[in-house]
Amino acid sequence: MEKKTKITGQTNSQSSKILSKPRIFFGVLFSVISIVLTFSFISYLMKWKSDQSQAGTLLDKTIKSTNVFGKIGDWLGNFFIFESLGIAAFIVAFLCLVTGLLIMKKNYFKPWKTFGHSLFFICWIPVFMGAVTGGSGVLSGVYGFQIMDFLNSIIGTFGLWMVLLVSIGLYFVLEFNLNPTNVKSKLNDLNDNTLGRVKSMMPKSSEKFEADEELEIENEEEKLVEKEFAVQNTSFQTPLNLNVTSDIEPIQTPNQTSFTSAPVTFEKPQITEKEDNFKFEVEIPKEDLNEYDRKAQDLVQKHGEYDHRLELAKFQMPTIDLLKDYGPEEIHVNQEELEENKNKIVGLLKTFNVGIAEIKATIGPTVTLYEIVPEAGIRVSAVKKLQDDIALNLSALGIRIIAPMPGKGTIGIEVPRKNPTMVSIRSVIASAKFQNTDMDLPVVFGKTISNEVFMADLSKMPHLLMAGATGQGKSVGINAILTSLLFKKHPSELKFVMVDPKKVELSLYSKIERHYLAKLPDGEDAIITDTHKVINTLNSLCVEMDQRYDLLKNAFCKNIKEYNSKFSQRKLNPENGHRYLPYIVLVVDEFADLIMTAGKEVEQPIARLAQLARAVGIHLIVATQRPSVNVITGMIKANFPARAAFRVISSVDSRTILDSPGADQLIGKGDMLYFNGNEILRLQCAFVDTPEVERLADFIGEQKGYASAFMLPEYSADETISTVGAFDPNEKDVLFEDAARIVVSTQQGSTSMLQRQLKLGYNRAGRIMDQLEACGIVGGFNGAKAREVQISDLHSLDNFLEELRK
């Protein structure tokens, strides 16, 4: 309705432009007179001698005229050209046209200016032509000749030319405000003005006569009424008030498109013409930049912004034709099935004395949602209790009752369709919603119950827990997630750490190792299948997380996005350890297996990452077949707000994963529930087949990649054992003294600073820091803060080191 009000408002604003009949009449009349005059004049000029002889014989039929407008044309030409203005008579024709247009409210010309200029030239041109031709011919007209003759007799020929040239000179000086300083710019302006006017004189293609616009407005309103009518009619009333709605093509919303485009038709840019003689300059005040920003700006001006894609600049993003086309995914409405289900629901509820005021059906790809409005006084819990009875009565698996529907005031009953429609990954990847998304890590799951493409941003989730019994679509779900990320992110922006204890599920992705995978420096395979090695990788990810936090802290950034944009603007110096940070997504396909074999050692780093890694761009996708409480512990659950549940075996499992039942009632084959921390949505997961993943991996793998996989920081379990204890001078690192000097001169006991300045790995820098602590140069570990430095200057340090060497 809001749109309608908008259109009505526009209509009112247009009403002042609606032309009355007299206006149209006189407007057209003047325009026609202008045309007649113009052609008569042209015709007269070409044959003026013979036409002139016929001018006085208007009523004599025996004499034929050669003018295009006959004797009237002769008469007009004779009167305006010969007897009065000469060729300046064309200005009269032009003024008639201007008058006609003004009457019809076409303000192509400013009336007073146009009439003023015309008057000047009507006076000047005939005299000028008289002076040029000496009074012979018709170009000056009688009026021009006589004035010229008169002036010639009193001021002489030279005086006459002086008057003519001074007057035209003055005209230009006054009109274009010419003075020696701005003559050049004015010449340019003159050019622009002439061009601009010529342009403005020509009707723009987008501009139509108001009559057309009126028609358009009416048409828009008619369309709107039709649309409203159509919208109302998409839900039809059955005898029992059953409204069926089906959003078969949610992406194409022609109604909305034309609603929003309607007002645009009436918006015209206001001032395009340069009429005033002053220059309009906009000055944007320059930011008061500090030294670093100024340096960064200079660098950006010199080299441009840092382009993280440069190394793989030729990398081609995957194309949609790598994915299988299953044809149009139209939902076929089975009227019989709908009626049958509705009758069963209504009948059953009646037997339990639950009256229904209204029932409406929404058909999705896998399930149909029947929304019922119970009669006044019926308790929601009464309907909820009937869940099993309804399921029994409809003899279908996958019935789910949502009482009440959040934000709707109805009770929803989801009933699986007999012939579900498959949702292909191609259809969701190709959707405008996915293609135009500005999410950082867009993950397209599939389609909702109302057949809309459903997407979520992994960077906002920020971690996803997936569960589902074997064969219910979990692996397909993981592939759908990975596919959507691979379609959107460049290899420089995203890295995966893949853990696949089942060994076969993610093996296809090994082809993209040098593009998208991350691994430990000594790791042989990028896809980790050995559960014991996982511990090192997870701890290494924790080290990467800590390092990233240090980088963010030093760059005064709150999150990875801010950091990367600062880095791109060259505000962060790579010599200080700064680098472009790709997102890292950890995918664990069988978490239960990990917990079984590695236990607490796995849980701890996972929990730590889940708690902290969000801001530094590390995200977790953890899937499990067995969502039992000893696998998905309270600690894990608390840190995974987003959960995806495929069909699970028991309602206990469903409660473990979703904190509510329902996942046990799903029908499998990608039928899933997605919990985003607030509400549970039923979705049909998009289907990705193995050959599709294979084609995608081949497409990426065959292109030029990095020299190796993305290297995670080195980590070895043994090295974590603290060496802090008695200081042994013989075992001190060769860089010990350099490190001590750096720490004392900067008065900062920070491991990451040592790493940067001495270009060391995290472990070695950590060891040196421990040695510095052991000999008393720095204080103990101080949490997030840097360690305290116990020696105040380099001189004292040299003495101290001297003592140590003894």
Ligand X SMILES: Nc1ncnc2c1ncn2[C@@H]1O[C@H](COP(=O)(O)OP(=O)(O)OP(=O)(O)O)[C@@H](O)[C@H]1O
Binding site for ligand X (CB under 6 A): 422, 468, 470-476, 625, 669-670, 685, 687
3-state SS string for 626-687: CCCCCCCCHHHHHCCCEEEECCCCCHHHHHHHHCCCCHHHCCCCCEEEEECCCCEEEEEECE
Q: How far is the CB of 294 from ligand X (least distance, A)?
A: 54
**Smallest gap, in angstroms, from Cβ of residue 472 to ligand X?**
5
Least Å distance, CB 258 to ligand X, is 34
Q: Which C-beta is closer to ligand X: that of 496 or that of 687?
A: 687
User: Does the annotation flag 270 for ligand binding?
Assistant: no
Query: 66 among the known binding-site residues?
Result: no
Minimum CB separation of residue 477 from ligand X in Å reads: 7
CB of 386 to ligand X, least distance (A): 30
Q: Which is nearer to ligand X, 511 or 669 (CB)?
A: 669
**Shortest distance in whole angstroms from residue 337 CB to ligand X:** 20
Residues in the chain: 806
CA pair distance 139, 48, nearest whole angstrom: 11
Q: What's the alpha-carbon Rg for the chain, to the nearest Å? A: 42
67 versus 475: smaller Cβ distance to ligand X = 475
Positive or negative, the CA dihedral 419, 422, 427, 428 is positive
Question: Which residue(s) pair with 456 in the sheet?
Answer: 443
Find out whether 471 is annotated in a ligand binding site: yes
Q: Which two tokens stand for residue 97?
A: 């046209």
Count Cα atoms within 13 angstroms, Cβ side, for 361: 26
Q: Nearer to ligand X by C-beta: 34 or 654?
A: 654
The answer to whether 217 and 4 are in contact (CB under 8 A) is no
Nearer to ligand X, 474 or 511 (CB): 474
In three-state secondary structure terms, 107 is: coil
Report d(CA 733, CA 754) in Å as an integer: 13
Cα–Cα distance, 762 to 767 (Å, whole number): 9
Helix (H) or strand (E) holding 148: helix 141-176
**Smaller CB separation from ligand X, 48 or 687:** 687
Does the annotation place 412 within a ligand binding site? no
- Give the burial class of 509: count Cβ atoms within 10 A of its Cβ; 0-12 exposed, 13-18 middle, 19 or more buried: buried
Known binding residue 100? Answer is no
Q: Which is nearer to ligand X, 476 or 663 (CB)?
A: 476
- The residues facing 297 across adjacent strands are none
Q: Which C-beta is closer to ligand X: that of 128 or that of 591?
A: 591
The secondary structure of 184-249 as a DSSP string is HHHHHHHHHHHHHHHHHHSPPTT---HHHHHHHHHHHHHHHHHHHHHHHHHS---TT-EEEE--S-
Instruction: Please indicate if the annotation marks 469 as binding a ligand.
Output: yes
336: helix, coil or strand?
helix
Half-sphere exposure of 349 (CA within 13 A, CB side): 26
CB of 469: closest distance to ligand X in angstroms?
7
Is the CB of 113 or the CB of 502 nearer to ligand X? 502
Secondary structure of residue 443 in the 3-state scheme: strand
Measured from the CB atom, the residue of 7 and 485 that comes closer to ligand X is 485
Shortest approach of ligand X to residue 639 CB, angstroms?
Answer: 23
**To the nearest whole angstrom, how small is the minimum distance from the Cβ of residue 451 to ligand X?**
15
468 is in an annotated binding site: yes
Cis amide prior to 404 (ω within 30 degrees): yes
Rounded Cα distance between 556 and 268, Å, is 46
Rounded least distance, CB 698 to ligand X, Å: 21
Instruction: Please state, in angstroms and rounded to a whole number, the distance separating the CA atoms of residues 424 and 687.
Output: 5
To ligand X, the closest distance from the beta carbon of 329 in angstroms equals 11
Residue nearest to ligand X (CB): 670
Residue placing its CB nearer to ligand X in the complex, 105 or 502: 502
Among 132, 31, 143, smallest CA distance to 81 is for 143
**Residue set of the binding site for ATP:** 468-475
Residues placed in the known binding site: 468-475
